[in-house]
Structure 1
Amino acid sequence: DGEGATKFITITVEGGASVLECRKIAYSIAHSPLVKTAFFASDPNLGRILAAIGYAGVALDVDQLDLYLDDVWVAQNGGRNPDYQEADGQRVMQQSEITVRVTLGRGAAAATVWTCGLSHDYVTINADYRS
C-alpha cells in the first residue's frame, strides 16, 4: 500500500479467541477494495466494514461485535449503535489518519494491521506502467 495514498488507516481487532482470528478479520477489512475506496471517499459506509468482517472466515457471535471509528461507537452488539450519528462518522472519515477498532467479546487476543485508502492516483500510477 502507499501509492497515491491519502489516508493512513489503523485497524485493531480485540477480544478475540486467538491472535489468528483477530488477524484474519483485520486483514479482511484492510484488503477489501470496497472498504479502501470508502475511506478514500470519506464515506462512513458501515456495511462495507461489517461485510468484510463477515467474510473473514471466522465463526463469530455477531451479537458480541462492536465497531468504532476512532472514538465514535458506530456498531453495537452487531447492529447500528442507536446513538450513532452519521455526522460523527463523517467527521472521522474526513481525517487523514483513522483508527478502526473491532471488539469481538470472545477472549483477550488482539491484532493490529495498517492500510490506506484506494485512490484515483493509485489506479493511475499502476495503470501507467508495465512490469
Structure 2
Amino acid sequence: MVFVPLVVLFAVANADGKFSYPEANAFDITAKGIAKAPFRPQDAFTRDVMAAANEPATIPRFESAVAAGTDFATILAQARGALEAKVDPTQAGVFRNTMVQLAKNIAEVTPIFGTSMSRDERDVIEMIAAALAVGKVSQPFTPFANEP
C-alpha cells in the first residue's frame, strides 16, 4: 500500500514525458498538508500511508520493486484488493479519493498550453481512479480544509 502514493507521483509526473521539480513539490506539499491536518478518525489510514511513503527508505524499495518487474498496474490492483479486504470502508474511501486528488494536484502544477493538465495526465488519472475503484467511496482527505 505504501507504494501507491509513489505510483501516483511517478505515473502522473511522467505521463507527459518529463518529471519536473514542481510535480515533485506538489507531492511534497500534499504530503505535508496531510501530516499537519487536524486528526479525524476517517483520515488515519491515509495519514499513515502518506507518512510511510515519505520515509527515506521507501523510494529505494519502490525503485527496486519496479526494477524487479513490478508494474504500476500490479501495485494498484494489489492495493485495491487490500483496501476492499482489510481497510475500514470509510478510511479506504478517503484514501482512494485522496490518491486521485494527489494525482490532480501533481498534474495541474505544470499546465500544458494553457490547460490545467495534459490529455496524457488526464488519462493516467482516470486509470488510477479506475484501478482503485473510485466511485464507491467517501470524501477525500482535505488537509487544507481549515485554512482560509
For Structure 1 versus Structure 2, the TM-score category normalised by the shorter chain is: 0.3 to 0.5
Structure holding more strand per residue: 1
TM score, norm. by length of structure 2? 0.30
Which has the bigger relative contact order, CA under 8 A and spacing at least 6?
1
TM score, norm. by length of structure 1? 0.33
